[in-house]
Copies of this chain bind each other. A is one copy, B any other.
């Protein structure tokens, strides 16, 4: 089990939670109350109350309310002469005292609107010196919580005997952060949430890009790493005060999360176990540090390992693949046992049959995977190839060479064999890899990952291939655009669409495959029938299966077309566009942009090849489209103009596939236009580097160099 599970798994047992809302959260930059945030906060408290949590609040903000009131009061009391004088800044403590009742009235009003009862509890430092007070306070709070009333705490500034400045660590508490920490212990809270104006504790000032959010604070690891920025712009606390309070509370057994009071629903999300903010937990140091590896750290390690991998000779990389193949075969029994356990669990959990089928490593699968890895091992080394050589000037030679992309993230569903294929492709192409598989294949993926990485030599390092098993949501991985170079989703259209919609990392793949077959009036109708049937029926769920059959209008009611439709209808549900629906008396298709992925298709008539092309541009997905014709001029028009990744003449759309194209191992099929398009082989995992060798040439305003720009042979 990875730590992320462990570090936040206690959240499901949290019942009593203290929420501390600081001045920076409830106050705007201009000193006025941030009513929008305050309202949203009360809505969250209402939600937690409804969900059965016991919510206790510690709030600041009285200063903002009080300043407002005092200003008005001064104005009312002023003579005209007074108003001429420069206005003195109002004393913060006076403001706080005056504002207390106003703030509480505001909370009361907001909560009342939400059907929540709240109560005010004003305390001073000295109160806590009295043990009777502590006992009484606990009883009172218990009673309130039993009645589902939200206690709202604040320091009783109006009657506090202490003088400003408040920073005075000799007291029992000295600001609302330390009050919250104290209450967490006194009231035996299960969690203390300290709301901040930043997302949590960073390794440095949050505004600097190299500062990273710390998800789980570990004293040994982070104590010397953190540099604090300036204090918060408002309020007494700032991050230092929060961290201090977090230490106190978490050491006494109440875990603490520092998180943003600006982000939507942040408290609810923390309680749902989402890995936002910074967690302080007394056991964090004992959690195995190796288990707290973040996806970011995994990506950085994978890149380091990949640089060493790239630096090996081609034969050394080949040997690694052969070792991996041997290791898979040697561990076949172990792998199949783990896979069997996944399969049984999936069946017990009532998963769909098709998922269980994809999950299962059938007998013979491991040897066949090993065989394909050996084929890959023997293929020409794709990296460090010289793609272009140019003599730039005398004794100045430029080479364009192939090299790995860097770090790939593969998100795959069910199929554990995908892990093996992708890992071996990554090794062959010198890339680092992060794997994120479905939880239904957890045991299979874990053993496969272990067998493969155990076969990696020490001079490369096992971290070349990271298996992300934590509860890190895919969404978090997809944010790592600075350390991951390419995402390859292997799974449903929905998975691909979701990934594309939520990342800035380039995605190699296709969301949908709305492939067309256009039968021209000049078509050989036997060929047309054969191809239409194959394109739809050979594997209807494939992305390269036909979804729409376009037919030249001259073929309406022709015996050839009737024959095709008759054959189709025996196996396929057909739907018509507006014209076909009328003429063929078939049900109307809802939309032309529709991927059935099953034994169903749309049929429509078009005027000519140009209309077919326009239709494909309007409704297609740019995957694979095909024309059936004997007229080579019409064929060339179609081949030239259809702007899709693959365009075929008299051949089934089902040929659109890396293996059938002869690309060897297939990375995926891309409908994107950048980097790689259509079926993509290992070249989709490569980029280039420019290498130049000279003898001391300089540019010097381009005055000295005689550029020749001569192409040289590649050797």
Contact = CB atoms under 8 A, between A and B. Distances in A.
Contact-size category for A = 35 or more
B709 A662 contact: yes
Interface string A99-128: 000100110011001110000000000000
A688 B696 contact: no
A278 interface: no
Choose among A403, A530, A651 the residue with the greatest number of B CB atoms under 10 Å from its CB: A651
B114 A33 contact: yes
Interface in A616-664: 617, 635, 639-641, 643-652, 654-656, 660-662
A32 B694 contact: no
Given A677-B688, A687-B673, A650 B538 contact: no
A590 to B, nearest CB: 12
Interface string A671-703: 001110111000000011111111111111110
A655 B697 contact: yes
A307 B38 contact: no
B698 A530 contact: yes
A305 interface: no
Contact of A655 (B35, B485, B699, B709): B699
B113 A527 contact: no
A617 to B, nearest CB: 7
Given A115-B68, A641-B311, A661-B390, A655 B32 contact: no
A42 interface: yes
B690 A646 contact: yes
A307 B398 contact: no
Contacts of A675: 506, 674-675
A110 B35 contact: yes
Interface in A9-42: 28, 32-42
Contact of A506 (B32, B674, B709): B674
A392 interface: yes
Interface string A505-544: 0100000000000000000101100110111001000000
Contacts of A113: 32-33, 35, 65, 68, 102, 106
A660 B655 CA distance: 42
Contacts of A114: 32-33, 35
A40 B32 contact: no
A151 interface: no
B654 A698 contact: yes
A287 interface: no
A188 interface: no
Max count, chain B CB within 10 A of own CB: residue among A39, A485, A538, A700: A39
Given A693-B649, A709-B662, A538 B698 contact: yes
Contacts of A392: 655, 660-662
Nearest to A635: B693
A619 to B, nearest CB: 11
Copies in the complex: 2
B688 A678 contact: yes
Given A35-B42, A39-B39, A660 B707 contact: yes
A46 interface: yes
A292 interface: no
A343 interface: no
A43 interface: yes
A432 to B, nearest CB: 11
Contact of A700 (B403, B534, B639, B645): B534
Interface in A111-154: 113-115
Contacts of A41: 36
A688 to B, nearest CB: 5
A32 B533 CA distance: 57
A200 interface: no
Contacts of A115: 32, 68, 71-72
Contacts of A106: 109, 113
Interface string A465-498: 0000000000000000000011000000000000
A674 B405 contact: yes
A588 interface: no
A68 to B, nearest CB: 6
A396 interface: yes
Contact of A696 (B102, B635, B651, B677): B651
A118 B403 CA distance: 67
Given A40-B35, A390-B661, A687-B674, A692 B649 contact: yes
A504 interface: yes
A406 interface: yes
Contacts of A689: 643-647, 677-678
Contacts of A384: 640
A422 to B, nearest CB: 18
Contacts of A396: 651, 655
Contacts of A110: 35
B486 A674 contact: yes
Nearest to A649: B693
Contacts of A660: 392, 699, 702, 705, 707
A28 B43 contact: yes
Given A531-B698, A662-B390, A677-B687, A650 B693 contact: yes
A690 B647 contact: yes
Given A36-B39, A106-B113, A655-B699, A485 B687 contact: no
Nearest to A384: B640
Contacts of A647: 689-692
A695 B523 CA distance: 11
Interface in A56-84: 65, 68, 71-72
A32 B35 CA distance: 17
Contact of A405 (B72, B673, B687): B673
A120 to B, nearest CB: 17
For the complex of A and B, list the 4 residue pairs with the smallest distance between their C-beta atoms, beginning with the closest.
Answer: A36-B40, A35-B39, A651-B694, A662-B709
15 contacts: A35-B39, A36-B36, A36-B37, A68-B113, A68-B115, A392-B661, A538-B701, A635-B693, A639-B691, A647-B692, A650-B694, A654-B698, A655-B699, A674-B674, A678-B690
Given A398-B661, A504-B504, A647-B690, 12 more contacts: A33-B114, A36-B37, A106-B113, A403-B643, A406-B643, A506-B506, A531-B698, A639-B691, A646-B691, A647-B691, A648-B691, A648-B694
